[in-house]
Structure formats: C-alpha cells, structure tokens
Structure 1
Amino acid sequence: ESLLKLLERLLGADINQMPVVSGAGDGAPQIVGMVTRDSILRVMQTRTELASQFPSK
C-alpha cells in the first residue's frame, strides 16, 4: 500500500498507528512492526526535500 493511501486510512479512522503484518501465506499473519502518522509524514518530508535538492532530469 502506498504511503499516501495508508496516511489517508489512518486519518480517516482517526488513529495514529497501524500494525505492519507479514505477507507470508503459510499461516497466520504476524505483526512485524508498527507504522505511525509521524513516521509517514517524516518520510514524505524527506522525499520532498531530497527531490528539491536533486531534481530529476
């Protein structure tokens, strides 16, 4: 799922974090981490800053 779509889901559900589950189809999904609104926003901000410093040709 894209970061933007995930952020929209978090905002729409009014929650701050969501579990990240493994996609191995060999049993029950396992939680492998958590993603937060803040972490998504930090990644998006970093991408924007890098894009302005290193514009694509």
Structure 2
Amino acid sequence: MLKTDRLLLRQWTRDDFLPFYNICSDREVMEYFQKPLTEKESNAMGEKILSLISQRGWGFVVA
C-alpha cells in the first residue's frame, strides 16, 4: 500500500468489483471502448486482475 496526503494506492479486492462494474457499465465512461460491460464481463475482468496480482504482484490488464 502507498499512501500520501491525497492518495491511497492498494491492491484490488473483490470489494472493488461492484464499483468497477458501475464504471464499466456506464456508456459515457466507456464511450471509446468497444462497449459497456455486463456485470458478468466486468466480474470476469476483475477475477483476471486478481489472478494476475496473485501471480505477478501487479495485474491491470486490458483484454
């Protein structure tokens, strides 16, 4: 975890899945992506991110 006066960086947890879905399902946010994600698609991406964090120590992926 990295913490400053204005920022907290931490690893992902499953508690992040719902806020992540809320972002990924928003048409305006996803305007320049292929399409907004369904909850199932968003959760699958969240699981992939968690898996990569576990394997490598970092895990953001665009797939």
* TM-score, normalisation: structure 2: 0.41
Larger Rg: 1
Q: Greater RCO between the two (CA within 8 Å, min separation 6)?
A: 1
